[in-house]
Amino acid sequence: MLLIPCPHCGPRNQEEFAYERTLDSVVRLNDAPELAIATLYARANPRGQEHEIWSHTCGQWLRLTRDRISHAIHSVEPL
């Protein structure tokens, strides 16, 4: 189980959080179609560290740097 430190509420149970997408997969409104498609669909999916966007039930959006093998959370910042 993950214990995720919400910047607003402090450490909370994983159950209260939802993974959204990777930080590099947010499509900008004025992106060219090729870039938008790559952003939507291409993932590095690394066996290791990745930057991710999560949300907390309190409404806070988080930027999580997390290891996808050890599940260690290296940093959490408000987004």
Partner 1 sequence: MGAGRYNALALLRGAITGHRHWGRAWRAAEPRGPYDVIIIGGGGHGLSTAYYLAKVHGIRRVAVVEKGYIGGGNTGRNTTIVRSNYRQAPLQSLFEYSLKLWHGLSDELNYNVMFSPRGALFLGHSDADMARLAERGDAMIANGLDADLIGRDEVARLVPLLDMSPGARWPIEGGLIQRRGGTARHDAVAWGFARAADSLGVDIIENCEVTGFLREGNRVTGVRTTRGDIAAGRTGICVAGNSGHVAGLAGIKLPIESHTLQAWVTEPVKPMIDTVVMSQTLHCYFSQSDKGGMVGGGDPDFFPSYAQRGAPIRLEDSIAQSIALAPALSRLRMVRSWAGVTDMSFDGSPIIGELPLDGLYLNGGWCYGGFKATPGSGSVYAHLLATGQSHPLAAPFYLNRFADGRTIDEVGSGPMPQSR
Residues lying near partner 1 in the complex (CB under 8 A) are found at 1-2, 14-15, 18-19, 21, 37-38, 40-47, 50, 52, 54, 68-71
For residue 62, the minimal CB distance to partner 1 (Å) is 12
Query: Closer to partner 1 at the Cβ: 7 or 36?
Result: 36
Query: Closer to partner 1 at the Cβ: 7 or 50?
Result: 50
What count of other Cβ atoms lies within 10 Å of the Cβ of residue 28? 9
Calculate the CA dihedral of residues 54, 48, 50, 12 and round it to 10 degrees. 30
